[in-house]
Structure 1
Amino acid sequence: MGLLDSNRLFPLEPSVRKIARDLYDTVRDLPIISPHGHTDPRWYAENVAFADPAQLFVTRDHYVFRMLHSQGIALEDLGVPTEDGGAIEQDSRKIWRRFAENYHLFRGTPSRLWVDHAFQEVFGVTQRLSASTADGIYDHIAECLTQDAFRPRALFERFNIEAISTTESAIDDLRWHKMIKDSGWQGKVVTSYRPDAVIDPDFEGFAQNVQIMGEMAGEDTTTWTGYLAAHRNRRDYFKSFGATSTDHGHPSARTEDFPPDQAAALFDKALRGVCTPEEADAFRGHMLTEMARMSLDDGLVMQIHPGSLRNHSSQVMAQFGRDKGFDIPKRTDYVTALQPLLNAVGGNPDLTVIVFTLDETSFSRELAPLAGVYPALKLGPPWWFLDSYEGMMRFRQTATETAGFYNTVGFNDDTRAFCSIPARHDVARRVDCAFLATLVASGRLDADEAPEVAYDLTYRLVKQAYRL
């Protein structure tokens, strides 16, 4: 007996389950388009074997070590590196055993489904992870990782990934993407332009980051016009490595549309480090509108990922750095926040702005009505804390009635954990088919339309939205 129920996530009523299963069978093997994520391009560039099971499943996955840490396990004991290079657990087998001994903590969570899927479908493991099975499963996965078939490029092809986008800072030199491009390998790995470090005055080293961007772009970024020109230059550079999108991880969805002289004055204060919190937020908001205008010029799709209070624990931020699982969702306004940007460019169908949320209450109240009328605006799929059966189903139930299916953009996995990519896309396909089956069974969607919608949600919409 395997780890996975073949009918997982499908409706319980037999006739509706059959509709869902039949729909799923039409999309289950479609190629994966992963248009936004955080896998490391170095994996594909160097194609070096993954180090060991603990590095693959625990140390690099903040979904996993966050849960373990919530039960009192120190991040150091899970091998998470510190900013100062301090002592951490180096024995991967010990890390794995801690994971296995506490695997019960993941019962009922998306992480459990993703890990079990990777165990079974990627590595052929059919035993549940526990203290008693830890060493055997570790040895089996470790042995697999020595084989060429489990190197990053081979897994990329085995996972049937048609295209994947990584996410790099505006001041990244894209060396790994250059190596991929020069290697002759046919796997499609593109980058995405993430300018937070040179847009957010509160980002550590903001002024230095802007200077570096200017040097890379050959522009004088001490001036407002030079600063904007540097962004255009870097966006073009990213496009030369296949970028089709930008990504913006702001604390809020606030946008502004200031006259040039007011924007320039804010930029000058930001460079000098004398912005008030309100001025810093206003500058971030104005830059979202500037980025949208640039997208009209260069065709890059714009993604806005707002509403996370990043690095909630100052202690963890200081000791371990960014992206260590201490980002917390907060209430987010969209109606008034996006109004300046939408008034400026939201009526232009040549622009695509994909908005995400961590605040579910906004789907039916704000985001679906906005996407249901502004041609430029599309709804991103359930993201991060909502990337689950329940979150995906609630999204379909609350957004579809107003925005429909065709103002959404399919699914993206947004993951750092490479082996979870097929699992996450499989969950999304199952949930969408379950939702469509319910519509068919309740007379809200014709049976002959459902396969087309399932195909669109799985494949066509994401290719179209992200221009891949």
Structure 2
Amino acid sequence: MSDKTLQLHPDRLFPTDARVRDIARSLYNEVKDLPIVSPHGHTDPRWFAYDENFGNATELFIRPDHYVFRMLYSQGVPLESLGIGRQDDAPVEQDPLKIWQLFARHYRLFRGTPSRMWLDTVFSEVFGLTQVLDENSAGHYYETITRQLATDAFKPRALMDRFNIELIATTEGALDPLAHHQHISGTPWAKRVITTFRPDDVVDASREDFADNIRALGEMTGEDTQSWQGYLQALRIRREVFRRHGATATDHGHPTAATSDLSQGECESLFARCLSGKANAGEQELFRAQMLTELAGMSLEDGMVMQIHPGAYRNHNPLVFNHFGRDKGADMPSQTEYVQALKPLLDKYGNEAKLNIILFTLDETTYARELAPLAGHYPCLKLGPAWWFHDSPEGMLRFRHQVTETAGFYNTVGFNDDTRAFLSIPARHDVARRIDCRFLAQWIAEHRITEQEGHELAYDLTYRLAKQAYKLGDA
């Protein structure tokens, strides 16, 4: 066993100044037990549909989490040794205990990262572990976690209740049959586990499977997706199917925020070129840009909230992509421009108060210069929280400091965890609540807002704004 005690200080992340810390603690105590609304994420809907026990500690904490992959890989740990399957079916480590021991041996690498904070919170508060994870405590950790996971109390639905998760949204591609959501359709769980429409698989013309996906879209909807109008109608049909399974939002993970507003003839010609496989990189980007505008129009029609997640250079490492596939920790933030990129879409729809677009960024330099001024003016725009690489205590503070004076609090949408790691959800929301209370406490201490306003804002940032932004009912 490890001789290092696992301790979570009750005032973690709060200010060091005693007076401001007292204010932060008072704010936090009012919001810490509010229900969790998780309106955007990537957990597996199978978990909630069939309510089966998780297999073991490795399956739960390591295999789904690209934050774990990237840190270990950066220190020379082969992905094969973590049991990550290869595209060529070459052998990889299969023993979950060996994988866990390897993870524990390198756990010190996560010091100072949000992952360390999330994981320690789960280890302590969910599993009751009292020693720090390291090589000596690895076996005890694995046995304790895996034993508890086999009980009814640790089935996904029971954990949803234990974590006080009021609602969770998963994310599925346009071609997903939504079988898991269909399984819970008509039950109370259909109101707590909803889907999100992410059509990148049939919108990104740079994908190697784009033409095949468009044909599959036609077969699924009965529309002629080889024609521009048939293709658009097929997307409308799929959106409606997603809405029937609870979706209130769409999600778009494009390399840039570029939008366009082409004529119908130009759209038809560009679509045909993309289908033929002859489109160059510039034409593929123009097609994605046009589709953001088209999809914004569809959101205005059907009321779905539109999330735009640009700026990730996907699969930056070709060796990892070729051997292991997508989402293996090799995506990188990239410089992203919004003011000019969004202008064609905003010229067409920006003044529509009934349109709801939530913008995210991986480029923090745009917060004060571009995103806050845009959201502080256009009725259709709101700002999503600090995302992905910046979903961290310092990242959350930078976000609040840089956007609030221009966009205010009410042109933001609260917090969403955007996670694949189910058990980290309470920990991530707790970090967000602590940081928001820290930020508000400083403003109260400086007499920039009153204490009453601070308490109202803490509630709004924790709960109400997310429900309002994603159209999830009254808060």
TM-score, length of structure 1 as denominator length: 0.99
Residues in 2 aligned to 1:109 and 1:42: alpha-carbon distance in whole angstroms:
29
The question of 1:10 aligning with 2:14 is answered yes
Which shows bigger deviation, 393-402 or 197-206? 197-206
**Where do residues 450-465 of structure 1 align in structure 2 (5 Å cutoff)?**
450-465=454-469
SS at match of 1:278: helix
Deviation at 1:218, TM superposition (A): 1.2
Q: Output one character per residue of 1:246-297: Cα deviation in whole Å (capped at 9) or x when no partner.
A: 0000000000011111111110101001111111101100000000000000
The question of 1:328 aligning with 2:325 is answered no
Listed as ranges, the gaps of 5+ residues in structure 1 are: none
**Where do residues 410-429 of structure 1 align in structure 2 (5 Å cutoff)?**
410-429=414-433
Amino acid in the other structure paired with 1:424: R
Deviation at 1:443, TM superposition (A): 1.1
Match of 1:211 in 2: 215
**Where do residues 266-415 of structure 1 align in structure 2 (5 Å cutoff)?**
266-415=270-419
The question of 1:49 aligning with 2:53 is answered yes
Aligned residue among 246, 255, 261 for 1:257 = 261
Match of 1:143 in 2: 147
Deviation at 1:357, TM superposition (A): 0.2
Residues in 2 aligned to 1:159 and 1:455: alpha-carbon distance in whole angstroms:
18
SS at match of 1:459: helix
Conserved? CA contact 2:190–2:246, under 8 Å:
no
SS at match of 1:449: helix
Q: Output one character per residue of 1:20-71: Cα deviation in whole Å (capped at 9) or x when no partner.
A: 0000001000011101100000111111111110111112111012101110
Deviation at 1:186, TM superposition (A): 6.3
Deviation at 1:122, TM superposition (A): 1.0
SS at match of 1:60: coil
Amino acid in the other structure paired with 2:214: V
Residues in 2 aligned to 1:102 and 1:181: alpha-carbon distance in whole angstroms:
43
Residues in 2 aligned to 1:197 and 1:347: alpha-carbon distance in whole angstroms:
29
Conserved? CA contact 1:62–1:325, under 8 Å:
yes
Match of 1:445 in 2: 449
Amino acid in the other structure paired with 2:323: Q
Residues in 2 aligned to 1:25 and 1:186: alpha-carbon distance in whole angstroms:
31
Residues in 2 aligned to 1:364 and 1:184: alpha-carbon distance in whole angstroms:
42
Conserved? CA contact 1:304–1:356, under 8 Å:
yes
Residues in 2 aligned to 1:247 and 1:104: alpha-carbon distance in whole angstroms:
35
Conserved? CA contact 2:6–2:120, under 8 Å:
no
Q: Output one character per residue of 1:186-206: Cα deviation in whole Å (capped at 9) or x when no partner.
A: 661110110011111101210
Aligned residue among 93, 111, 114 for 1:110 = 114
SS at match of 2:55: coil
Amino acid in the other structure paired with 1:393: L
Match of 1:65 in 2: 69
The question of 1:33 aligning with 2:37 is answered yes
Conserved? CA contact 2:316–2:331, under 8 Å:
yes
Conserved? CA contact 1:196–1:203, under 8 Å:
no
Conserved? CA contact 1:214–1:227, under 8 Å:
yes
Amino acid in the other structure paired with 1:413: D
Deviation at 1:137, TM superposition (A): 1.1
Q: Output one character per residue of 1:289-321: Cα deviation in whole Å (capped at 9) or x when no partner.
A: 000000000000000000010000111111111
Residues in 2 aligned to 1:2 and 1:42: alpha-carbon distance in whole angstroms:
32
Residues in 2 aligned to 1:187 and 1:377: alpha-carbon distance in whole angstroms:
26
TM-score, length of structure 2 as denominator length: 0.97
Match of 2:156 in 1: 152
Residues in 1 aligned to 2:388 and 2:85: alpha-carbon distance in whole angstroms:
23
Which shows bigger deviation, 42-51 or 357-366? 42-51
SS at match of 2:382: strand
Residues in 2 aligned to 1:117 and 1:427: alpha-carbon distance in whole angstroms:
10
Runs of 4+ in 1 over 3 A off after TM superposition: 182-187
Amino acid in the other structure paired with 1:145: L
Conserved? CA contact 1:247–1:305, under 8 Å:
yes
Measured at CA, do residues 453 and 23 of structure 1 come closer, stay the same or move farther in structure 2, by a change above 3 Å? same
Amino acid in the other structure paired with 2:262: F
Residues in 2 aligned to 1:319 and 1:28: alpha-carbon distance in whole angstroms:
43
Identical counterparts, % of pairs: 58
SS at match of 1:448: helix
**Where do residues 86-235 of structure 1 align in structure 2 (5 Å cutoff)?**
86-182=90-186, 185=189, 188-235=192-239
SS at match of 1:108: coil
Deviation at 1:2, TM superposition (A): 4.6
| RMSD value, Cα | 0.9
Amino acid in the other structure paired with 2:42: H
Conserved? CA contact 1:162–1:187, under 8 Å:
no
Residues in 1 aligned to 2:70 and 2:410: alpha-carbon distance in whole angstroms:
35
Conserved? CA contact 1:157–1:187, under 8 Å:
no
Residues in 1 aligned to 2:433 and 2:132: alpha-carbon distance in whole angstroms:
24
Count of matched residue positions in the alignment of Structure 1 and Structure 2: 468
Deviation at 1:448, TM superposition (A): 1.0
Residues in 1 aligned to 2:56 and 2:248: alpha-carbon distance in whole angstroms:
33
Residues in 2 aligned to 1:186 and 1:133: alpha-carbon distance in whole angstroms:
40
Residues in 2 aligned to 1:425 and 1:85: alpha-carbon distance in whole angstroms:
37
Listed as ranges, the gaps of 5+ residues in structure 2 are: none
Residues in 2 aligned to 1:324 and 1:237: alpha-carbon distance in whole angstroms:
30
